[in-house]
Chains A and B, each alone.
Chain A
């Protein structure tokens, strides 16, 4: 498999799989907590953070830019929660508004950056659709450095996180600081988004959070199994996507990964035991046949 021996391809494949696994795992909590689209809004909102980080520091190393992205995404998420809490604007409108406004501001900053005479600005635009082909080893370490602590936090607070994901009211009545854990989970989501920005870009990032979780949910009712499955699905889709896009010219890795993930999700929705649509239909037919004495 040259996917793992060729240096460039190895980085692309490993990086994408790392991203798929981490975002798939962390996306589960967003989907369970009915915040699937928060990831979409936050990934768009990260754009001005990237541009500002570059403008302020003049650096193009992944840590600086991703830190800027994380801060912007977090600001967007907090503003969003504040809008929904303090006004009559519902969360759908608040999400769409924040997404578009932050992204628009990001474009303003990007167009400003592009007029700067420095050569280092090249490549900032790749954050729009991602550029998996440009992943280098340093990016992989950045992913691990951001994703590792996020995963560790989830592991440490597993019982609390589990309870809050399923029933925040019960968690509150048991005296858990639910608000604090919500901020923690939002922060973890930000980490997942930030990791994916370079590979699949701000536009398609939401799919990497939502699709693995939805696919995994169909196969199990246990959260432990679900998060592991989602991580597996994410990594598998990333592997398939990286493999397919290595086959042909002009097959951008990000969109191919998203399509592979969508296919896995569609298959899960159709054939997963107990829940899948085809499964349910098949069982109905069986019952009907049994009922007819066959």
Chain B
């Protein structure tokens, strides 16, 4: 049997992977904030199902929460469809209202049983191994089975509808003309998000559900342009955030869910800064290299204009570049060095002159 520690990590990894799969499409379809709305309103689904069935393990819970997720999306669309309210404001109207109802129902009717708003929002992964059920004769944590179920379901849905999802995401108009109903794909995705949210909810809390659905795909989106790679990377990043978060939380003895969200954020921050092509640093380097290339071209042009005239001795002196082209001295030196290194310019005494290669380049400009 697994130790509780291993079980917690396994649960975290499975939930991270299960969240990353629909998350990729949420990010690409610009619906990430709906995950915020859904992860709050599933609480109402849980409460209503609990009040009806009086149990937190009944299958009604899944039906209720999945339905509540879809109802949330439908309400948001209805409010923004009235054209009186923009979509973002519609989200901000709908989910606090539903969430407030849930909070009031909890505090009024369910007393202090297992269901309290704190644990729903924050989750307590460390307790997950104590809540066990039997499956096929094996005694497993409930969160592990439910999370595994969500992962398998999401993977199957993705495999079945990959082409449709891809098309509807990148070219909705074409998808519609080919006969894929955008509404079915949209609501299918939202159902999958709600189901994933409710399974993950109990173990990791609703806020971490958002973090795991949005942060890994957003990070992957900075690293690749290809959808299959983005899906794979998202899962890998989610798993890495889950595991590193777990160990950070153990090390400092702090909230596991919070630490996982923090690690996911740190991962995103690192990609935002250092991603090979899209990172801030890479962009700055590209910008500098473009500027330098342009400056070298300017230099060759300048030399070409003056090389056969009488004032070449003055015009082609490096110090003159500083004055005429208004380059700072350090920059001028760097550009001259760069032009020399690439064999476009050479020094004759104090004066710069073009090589054959440099002259050809300048003429081409």
Interface residues of A (CB under 8 A from B): 31, 34-37, 39-40, 44, 83, 86-90, 92-97, 99-112, 115, 125, 128-129, 203-204, 206-207, 209-211, 213-214, 217-218, 250-252, 254-256, 258-259, 262, 265, 269, 275, 277
Q: Which among A103, A209, A251 is the interface contact of B104 at CB below 8 angstroms? A: A251
Are A107 and B117 interface neighbours, CB within 8 A?
Answer: no
Closest-CB distance, A37 to chain B (whole angstroms): 5
User: What CA separation (Å) do A128 and B258 show in the bound complex?
Assistant: 14
Which of A36, A111, A259 is in CB contact (< 8 Å) with B258? A111
Please tell me which one of the listed residues A87, A92, A106, A112 contacts residue B33 in the complex, with CB atoms under 8 A apart.
Answer: A92
Q: Are A269 and B85 in contact (CB under 8 A)?
A: yes
- Indicate whether A255 sits within 8 Å of B211 (C-beta atoms), given known contacts A86-B280, A97-B265, A99-B36: no
**A101-B272 CB under 8 A given contacts A39-B92, A96-B33:** no
Q: Shortest distance in angstroms between A242's beta carbon and chain B's nearest beta carbon?
A: 15
Q: How far is the CB of B89 from chain A (nearest CB, A)?
A: 4
**Cβ B254 vs Cβ A275 within 8 A:** no
Across the A-B interface, the 4 shortest Cβ-Cβ residue pairs: A104-B261, A101-B265, A107-B258, A207-B96
The answer, among B79, B88, B117, for a CB contact under 8 Å with A37, is B88
Give B203-222 interface residues, CB cut-off 8 Å to A: 207-208, 210-211, 213-215, 217-218, 221-222
Contact B222 A87, beta carbon cutoff 8 Å: yes
A104 near B207 (CB under 8 angstroms)?
yes
| Residue from B35, B213, B218, B260 with most neighbouring chain A CB atoms (10 Å) | B218
The A contact surface, by secondary structure, is: helix
Tell me the B254-269 residues at the A interface (CB within 8 Å).
254-255, 257-262, 264-265, 268
A97 contacts B268, CB within 8 Å? yes
Residues of B within 8 A of A101 (CB): 211, 215, 261-262, 264-265, 268
The listed residue (B91, B100, B249, B259) touching A255 by CB distance below 8 A is B100
Q: Given A93-B32, A104-B261, answer yes or no on A34-B104 (Cβ-Cβ < 8 Å).
A: no
Alpha-carbon distance between A103 and B209 when the two chains are bound, in angstroms:
12
Q: Decide if B254 touches A206 in the complex (CB within 8 Å).
A: no
In the complex the two chains form, is B89's CB within 8 Å of A95's CB? no
Q: Which residues of A contact B35 (CB under 8 A)?
A: 96
Residues of B within 8 A of A106 (CB): 258
- Which among B91, B100, B101 has the greatest number of chain A C-beta atoms within 10 A? B100
Question: Is A207 in contact with B93, judged by CB distance below 8 angstroms?
Answer: yes
Tell me the interface secondary structure of chain B in the complex: helix
Smallest distance from the beta carbon of B64 to chain A beta carbons, Å?
A: 20
Check A100–B210 contact: CB distance below 8 A.
Answer: yes
Contact status A97-B258, CB under 8 Å: no
Q: Residue among B96, B103, B208, B265 with the most chain A CB within 10 A?
A: B96
Given contacts A35-B88, A89-B218, A89-B221, 11 further A-B contacts (CB under 8 A): A89-B222, A92-B30, A94-B218, A97-B218, A128-B121, A129-B103, A206-B92, A207-B100, A211-B92, A214-B93, A255-B103
- B253 located at the interface, meaning its Cβ lies under 8 Å from any Cβ of chain A in the complex: yes
B243 to nearest A CB, angstroms?
15
Q: Does B71 touch A at the CB level, under 8 Å?
A: no
Interface size on B, residues (CB 8 A): 61
- Report 17 cross-chain contacts, Cβ distance below 8 Å, ordered by A residue: A39-B92, A89-B221, A89-B222, A93-B214, A97-B218, A97-B268, A105-B265, A107-B261, A112-B253, A128-B117, A204-B100, A211-B92, A250-B107, A255-B99, A259-B104, A262-B100, A265-B93
Q: Which residues of B contact A111 (CB under 8 A)?
A: 254-255, 258
Nearest-CB distance from B232 to chain A (Å)? 19
Contact of A259 among B89, B97, B107, B211 (CB under 8 A): B97
Q: How far is the CB of B81 from chain A (nearest CB, A)?
A: 11
Q: Check B30 against A90 for contact (C-beta < 8 Å).
A: yes
**Which residues of the partner chain B approach A99 to less than 8 Å between Cβ atoms?**
36, 207, 210
Residues of B within 8 A of A109 (CB): 254
CB distance from A188 to the nearest CB of B (A): 18
Taking a contact as CB atoms closer than 8 A, the residue among A36, A115, A258, A275 that contacts B88 in the complex is: A36
Q: How far is the CB of A44 from chain B (nearest CB, A)?
A: 8
Interface string of B241-258 (1 = CB under 8 A from A): 000000001001111011
Task: Known contacts A39-B92, A99-B36, A104-B265; decide if A252 and B122 are in contact (CB<8 Å).
Answer: no
The minimal Cβ–Cβ distance linking A45 to chain B, given in whole angstroms, is 11
Closest to A262 in B: B97
Chain A positions within 8 Å of B84 at CB level: 214, 217-218, 269, 275, 277
Name the CB-closest residue of B to A241: B100
Is B297 part of the binding interface, using a Cβ–Cβ cutoff of 8 Å? Answer: no
Q: Complex formed: what's the CA distance from A115 to B215 in Å? A: 29
Q: Which residues of A contact B210 (CB under 8 A)?
A: 96, 99-100
The residue among A34, A37, A103, A259 with the most chain B CB atoms within 10 A of its own CB is A103
- Assess whether B177 is interfacial by the CB under 8 Å rule: no
A262 to B90, CA, bound (A): 11
* Distance in angstroms between the alpha carbons of A103 and B218 in the assembled complex: 17
A95 to B27, CA, bound (A): 11
Contact between chains at B96 and A97 (CB < 8 Å): no
Measured CB to CB, the closest approach of chain B to A85, in angstroms, equals 11
B334 partner residues in chain A, CB cutoff 8 A: none
Q: Are A105 and B261 in contact (CB under 8 A)?
A: yes
In the assembled complex, the Cα of A277 lies from the Cα of B81 at a distance in Å of 11
- Shortest CB distance A17–B (Å): 18
Q: How far is the CA of A103 from the CA of B221 in the complex (A)?
A: 22
